[in-house]
Structure 1
Amino acid sequence: MKTLLTLAGIGLLLLACKSKTATYTVQSRTLNEAVYASGEIMPEAYYFLKANSADLLLKVPVKEGDNVKQNEILAVLGTPSQLEQVDILHRQVALAGSNAQAGSAALTELKNRIALAKTQQEQDALNADRYTELAKSKAVSEKDAEQARVQAASSATQYKTLQDQYKSLQNDLSGKLLQAQQQLAATSQSREGKVLKSPVDGRVYKVYLKTGELAQLNDPIVMVGIPGRFKLELLVDERDISKIRLDQKVYFETDVYKGKQFVATVNKIIPLLQKESRSFQVEAAVQDTALFYPQSSVEANIVVRERVTGLVVPSDYLMKGDSVYLQQGKELHKTAVVTGIRSGDWVEIKSGLKAGDVVAIKEGR
């Protein structure tokens, strides 16, 4: 990709001919000053779901291109026995919860016994009172009255014992439920990072491993992002970063749509030098709504000044060391120049040439 910012209607006028020398007459043109950057296009928001330890990839219930909901399971790591253990604990919690409910079989059976004991206790209490009164009038013997009182006391004790048993059983079943829940929570906590869920409503862009493969620590398993909106992640040379400002226009191309130009706007400048490349990362929000493909490479020009008028020559005429061949009559003289803006196929000449001068490309230079 060579030209990104040539103005509409301006073409490169080369006086190519069959002779050994091509010439160009220096003149003023309007240019845009831009900074070159390269990088890749990514969803506006995206996430790499990674392994937090070396683990076997048990299952991936989604495929690339699937739309997913927030908290939907995208991948499960671990061993089959670990999954089975979690399933068992879930069933134990469900069973313990069912047993601890007031309507469970064990509590209902004991509750029925309590109801019968209460009825018996009430009957025996009435019978004891009646026999006691009858004994006073000698209608029954004192021995029979005493026996009735003993029976009433026994019934009351049985009723109280069954009530205590009910409370004890309730506490025991609640304790088993709590224990099962604690075991499940502990196991689930140890498996945090093993069940990877989508952090957003979005789209699966990439599945990096297959079921049964071993994922190493911090290996990406799935890439998920929000579709429809994209951004550029660009690298700008440290010598140019001082020219970059928020809201500057960015014109870019990608090989996916070869020959087509798109527009973005700078919305983030990360002020940390990447030592390996001696560059800074700049992000730009893509304005177009085309179907872009994440991690596609892009080349871009960030416009730092628009519509600057100055003397220009085609970049092909400029030699190393910023010099050109100036034609004077039939002779060519190597002349040093001071350059300014470089925009596409054009280079601004700040000094060393004047309008109307003729520069040339010398064959075999």
Structure 2
Amino acid sequence: MKYIVLTLLSFLLLSSCSDKKEKIFPERMPLTESVYASATVQPDSLYQAYSVVVGILDKIWVEEGDSVSKGGPILQITNTSPELNTENAKLALQLARENYSGSAAVLSGIRDEINAAELQLKNDSINYFRQKNLWDQNIGSKVEYDNRKLAYELSQNNLNLLQQKYNRTKNELETQVRQAENNYKTSMTNTSDFTITSKINGKVYAIYKNQGEIVTTMEPVAAVGRSDKFVVELLVDEVDIVKLKIGQQVFITLDSYNSEVFEGTLDKIYPRKDERSQTFKVEALFAEPPATLYPGLSGEGNIIIAEKNETLTIPKEYLIDDTHVLTDDGEKEVSIGLQNLDRVEILAGIDENTAIYKPEE
């Protein structure tokens, strides 16, 4: 009799404790699984402009927020050395061209010498062959014949040497002209390096230097990006990156637009992990962007990786170690599928008629 009373009391106590626990039943509802990411809005093709030369910032052609066309000037750096080098290269080029084809060309003098040598050769040739004909007839002296022959051969050699000198000088002058042209082009390129221009059609978002400051090659001087297209940079935890694919739907909320939700599409996945934050960067494009956007606007993004129109779900807080739930018959093993921040899909183990209890913390 005493044993029966104790058993009854234990049963009543367990029943009383069970009644005090929160009891619910699994529900069928739509479920979407997504990957969370922090979001930052940036202009498309945003880049930092650097100078390739060192100098003093002399002029700022645009202001922050101004539109700029591709090739349009942004900043002007001054340095007198490149200007002097360009002027010297220009003078050297003019001299080389004058020597080659101008009124005082070196080749003209050699050409005149060749003409004179040709006349001398013609004269010596006539005298030689006349004397040779006489000598063949045993008329005249041997000395006179030898002199005429020697003069003819010397004239031939002199003409050949002058022609070789002409060709050699012409090649040298042509080479000097080409070298002077290259030096002038190089100096012109160096001079153009002192004007920093835009690489795209867009907007100047930042200028990091003031007029009169020293500009080096190590520090950016401006930030330029497109004004008609913005991207959303998302930082995704490394445990979630393998779940992402190009084209997945993204829901974006921005702090500047309160609770308004914007739709987008995953457009790019960067393969390199940031070792400091242990995250990967991905980019999304707005389906319909907000009317006003600024670089650096922050918010949150949820990338949809799976969804079902209807499935059996329970609140996440009712799971025990992600594998069990507490029922009237004690702990029961379950298989789970999709999950979001609040709920998880039940694939097997319990059904809609199974009462489950919230585990004690």
Q: Normalization by structure 1: what TM-score?
A: 0.58
1:274 Cα deviation from its structure 2 partner: 3.8
Structure of greater Rg:
2
Give the direction of change, closer, same or farther, for the CA distance of 1:81–1:282 in structure 2 (3 Å limit). same
Superposed counterparts of 1:70-89, under 5 Å:
79-89=79-89
Give the direction of change, closer, same or farther, for the CA distance of 1:279–1:201 in structure 2 (3 Å limit). closer
Q: Tell me, yes or no, if the aligned pair for 1:44 and 1:285 is still in contact at 8 Å.
A: no
Q: Tell me, yes or no, if the aligned pair for 1:57 and 1:78 is still in contact at 8 Å.
A: yes
Q: What is the CA deviation profile of residues 220-248 of structure 1, one whole-angstrom value per residue up to 9, with x for unaligned ones?
A: 22434456443211223567656544322
- 2:319 maps to which residue? none
1:297 Cα deviation from its structure 2 partner: 0.9
SS in 1 for 2:246: coil
Superposed CA RMSD in Å reads 4.9
Q: Tell me, yes or no, if the aligned pair for 2:206 and 2:224 is still in contact at 8 Å.
A: no
Give the direction of change, closer, same or farther, for the CA distance of 1:100–1:40 in structure 2 (3 Å limit). farther
- 1:203 maps to which residue? 202
SS in 2 for 1:123: helix
User: Which residue identity is paired with 1:41?
Assistant: V
1:166 Cα deviation from its structure 2 partner: 1.4
1:112 Cα deviation from its structure 2 partner: 3.9
- Give the aligned length: 295
Q: What is the CA deviation profile of residues 338-361 of structure 1, one whole-angstrom value per residue up to 9, with x for unaligned ones?
A: xx745xxxx65999xx9xxxxxxx
Q: Normalization by structure 2: what TM-score?
A: 0.58
Q: Tell me, yes or no, if the aligned pair for 2:267 and 2:285 is still in contact at 8 Å.
A: yes
- Structure 1 or 2: larger helix share? 2
- 1:167 maps to which residue? 167
Superposed counterparts of 1:140-151, under 5 Å:
148-151=148-151
Q: What is the CA deviation profile of residues 156-185 of structure 1, one whole-angstrom value per residue up to 9, with x for unaligned ones?
A: 243223223213323432454466577679
Q: Tell me, yes or no, if the aligned pair for 2:205 and 2:225 is still in contact at 8 Å.
A: no
1:125 Cα deviation from its structure 2 partner: 0.9
Identity over aligned pairs, percent: 22
In structure 1, the gaps of 5 or more residues are: 1-26, 314-339, 355-365
Superposed counterparts of 1:324-335, under 5 Å:
none
- 2:5 maps to which residue? none
1:117 Cα deviation from its structure 2 partner: 2.2
- 2:111 maps to which residue? 111
Give the direction of change, closer, same or farther, for the CA distance of 1:83–1:74 in structure 2 (3 Å limit). farther
Superposed counterparts of 1:1-365, under 5 Å:
32-51=32-51, 55-57=55-57, 64-69=66-71, 79-89=79-89, 91-93=91-93, 95-96=95-96, 99-100=99-100, 105-134=105-134, 148-177=148-177, 180=180, 201-206=200-205, 208=207, 209-225=209-225, 228-237=228-237, 244-253=244-253, 261-270=261-270, 272-274=272-274, 276-277=276-277, 279-288=279-288, 295-304=295-304, 305-306=306-307, 341-342=340-341
Give the direction of change, closer, same or farther, for the CA distance of 1:213–1:116 in structure 2 (3 Å limit). same
Give the direction of change, closer, same or farther, for the CA distance of 1:241–1:139 in structure 2 (3 Å limit). closer
SS in 2 for 1:68: coil
